[in-house]
Amino acid sequence: MSVKRLAWPAATLAVAAAVLLSLAVGTRPVPPSEVLNALLHGGSSPDALVVRSLRLPRTEIGLTAGAALGVAGAALQAVTRNPLADPGILGLSQGAAAGVVLAIATGLASGFGGYVWYAFAGAVLAACLVYGIAARGRGGASPVKLALAGTALSAMTAGGTTVVLTSSSATLDQFRFWQVGSLSGRDADTVVEMLPFLVAGALLVLACARGLDALALGDETARALGHRVGVVRVCAALGATLLVASAVAAAGPIAFVGLAVPHLARRLTSGGHRALLPLSALLGAALLVGADVAGRVVRAPAEVPAGVMTALVGVPVLVVLVRRRGTAV
């Protein structure tokens, strides 16, 4: 049996294994039998409370955020026709960071639960500004103009947030816990609040799957095949924005998932974006939850945040992608 035929069962098994490890591994190890008992039958034992109250919410955040980043990365790489694009290319991460800094500095919110909506609003606003800038002039929002506008806005936003952070130590102390990217300290309400945006974003991107296949052949070819290039690009970018904004708002800036996962998915499937997007969702979920588990183990009993672990894994991947010739979207 070929590797590509094994991709789906292997990805599903990886997600299941990551979930089980996430619920069982930590400063208080819980046997798999106790994990299943806590999920199926509840109970008030210490193990059951740890599984349901602490580990289940962070696992749910990891699954949804990882899947969202994987799908968004695949969509943005197709929209920009840039194989090294990741969700930060539209300035989403920096926009979310600016929203959180604004909320902390002005006293509008305190604690993670208060940051979520400001991060979400900042990411969406950044995407709107990038598209508005790129759409001006001849040619509209071309892939190159989108990438340049996103890079410029990210740099400007990063400079502004740095000015605020360096002038207020209290703001910096609160912000750095969100900025590192982590799944700890989240609760089930976060998933519920973000779920409508995640579903809407996923449906928009999946609806554009055929159009994204055509965009890979070039705008003129896509038009000749009957696709409305502008509509496909806007809808896919909007869906990716909703996905990334939700993931960043919930888990903080998580590096390299949106970059590395689509490339791995492309090596495992040849069915176009209709197969690539769901497989990217599975692999993204498995990667982020797995990184969170690894972060609990490498320096136990202390924890390394999931955002740090994905960066440590992603840097070698990025180097390989840059050095490799002929990387295609």
Q: Find, among 71, 94, 218, 66, the residue nearest to 152 by Cα.
A: 94
Task: Please write the tens of the pLDDT for every residue from 163-217.
Answer: 888 887 777 777 777 777 888 877 778 888 888 889 999 999 999 999 898 888 7
Q: What phi-psi label fits residue 79: left (phi over 0), alpha (psi between -120 and 50 degrees) or beta?
A: alpha
Q: Is 85 within the bounds of a domain? A: yes
Range of the domain at 317: 3-323
328 domain residue, yes or no: no
Residue 182 lies in a domain: yes
Task: Provide mean pLDDT across the span 157-163.
Answer: 86
Residue 33 and residue 304: Cα distance in Å, rounded? 27
Range with top average pLDDT, 31-35, 68-72, 172-176, 192-196: 68-72
Single out the residue of 2, 55, 3 nearest to residue 24, CA to CA.
55
Q: Which residues are CB-contacts of 214 (< 8 A; sequence separation ≥ 6)?
A: 221, 222, 225, 227, 232
DSSP string, 136-199: SSTT-S-HHHHHHHHHHHHHHHHHHHHHHHHT-HHHHHHHHHHHT--STT--HHHHHHHHHHHH
- Percent above pLDDT 90 for the chain: 20
SS3 325: coil
Asked if residue 216 lies in contact with residue 102, where contact means CB atoms within 8 angstroms, the answer is no
Please tell me the pTM assigned to this model.
0.87
pLDDT in tens, 222-255: 788 788 888 888 899 889 988 988 888 888 888 8
To the nearest whole percent, how much of the chain has pLDDT over 70? 92
Answer for the pair 286, 15: CB distance below 8 angstroms, yes or no. Answer: yes
Q: What is the dihedral of CA 70, 73, 75, 76, to 10 degrees?
A: 170
The enclosing H or E element of 8 equals helix 3-24
The beta-carbon contacts of 310-314 under 8 Å, at least 24 apart in sequence, are 310/181, 310/254, 310/255, 310/256, 310/257, 311/255, 311/256, 313/256, 313/260, 313/287, 314/255, 314/256, 314/257, 314/259, 314/260
Q: Is the pLDDT of residue 325 over 50?
A: no
The predicted structure's pLDDT at residue 15: 95
Does some domain include residue 329?
Answer: no
CATH of the domain at 243: 1.10.3470.10
Most confident of 148-152, 178-182, 239-243, 311-315: 239-243
How many separate domains does the chain show?
A: 1
